[in-house]
Amino acid sequence: MAVLIDSPVWPWRGRRWSHLVSDVSYEELHAFVEAELGIPRRAFQGDHYDVPEDLYDVAVEAGAQPVASRELLSRLMAAGLRARKPRLPRPAT
């Protein structure tokens, strides 16, 4: 039961990013982000927040548990909190 963060290795717009999730609830995740990181709620990505590398250490110092990306995903799925992307219909052949 924790807020989890992976390493900032995901490139986007000239920066590297981490994923921040909760393996308890979205409410825990929103509360952590609001209180500790100041990231706006509109930045929520359905099941995670993207955290810029300059906030990685802040998140860890505030209590986020560093984990590998695979473990983050595994724990998110085990908690039933993984948001699935909708499937696009296959084109008719």
pLDDT digits (tens, 9 = 90+) for 34-88: 999 999 999 999 899 999 999 999 999 999 999 999 999 999 988 887 877 666 6
Q: What pTM value is reported for the model? A: 0.84
- Establish if 83 belongs to a structural domain: no
- Establish if 38 belongs to a structural domain: yes
Task: Name 18's Cβ contacts closer than 8 Å, sequence gap at least 6.
Answer: 5, 6, 7, 8, 9, 10, 50, 51, 52, 53, 56, 59
**Domain of 27?**
3-78
- Establish if 88 belongs to a structural domain: no
- Establish if 84 belongs to a structural domain: no
- Establish if 50 belongs to a structural domain: yes
- Establish if 89 belongs to a structural domain: no
- Establish if 86 belongs to a structural domain: no
- Establish if 51 belongs to a structural domain: yes
Q: Number of structural domains, the chain?
A: 1
**Continuous segment of H or E residues that includes residue 12:** strand 10-12
